[in-house]
Every structure is written in structure tokens, then in C-alpha cells.
Amino acid sequence: MARLAKPGADGALRAHLLADAKDFRRTYVETQLDDPDWRDYVWRETSKPVDALQAGEPCRITRGELPDGHPQRVLGSIRDSLVLGSDDVLREADSRLHMRA
């Protein structure tokens, strides 16, 4: 039986989260078109998870952000914090860690 190079890794999850983060950023910024200063602030803040996911950095998410059908979505509360590591392995978040959301 062949071994996986990165057991438990899920690059498709990172791609899904990135697409959702980009969509959220676009949608939220479009609601702020009348106020350029607020729009720019919203862009900067909503770009943080996009940038982290694109760079392959660890990213904190909630269980509720997992796609429907993901096996870990039903293992606890949708408010549970998880971390998608730079190795694309999803882990329970250590509350002592301070990571970019």
C-alpha cells in the first residue's frame, strides 16, 4: 500500500477556503462603494485571509467555514476554531496561538 506524501493534507480545502475568502471580500467591498475610506479599510481587512491562504500560510477558520460534506464539519460546534496549517493539514486550533484570521 502506498503512503501519502502528506497524510491528512487537503489542498482542495485550501482552494475552497481561498475561493470563499475572495468571494466574501468582493461582496463586502461592493457594499461600501459610496465610502472610499471605508471601502479601502474593508479591502485591507478582508484581504488578510486571502493573502494567508494564497501564500500557503497557516490560517485560522471556524468549523462552519468548512464545505458541506467535509468530514470534520459535523465533529463539533460550527464555532470551533481550526487551523489549516502550511502543510494543508486541518487541526484543532490551540487557543494559545495568535494567528491571523
The owner of cell 460534506 is 69
- Dihedral, 85, 59, 83, 17 alpha carbons, nearest 10: -100
The owner of cell 481561498 is 18
pLDDT (0 to 100) of residue 13: 92
pLDDT (0 to 100) of residue 9: 61
Domain limits, the chain: 11-92
Mean pLDDT in order along the chain per 10 residues (101 residues)? 47 92 94 89 95 95 90 86 93 65 44
CA 28/CA 25 separation, integer angstroms = 5
* pTM score of the predicted model: 0.79
CA 85/CA 10 separation, integer angstroms = 10
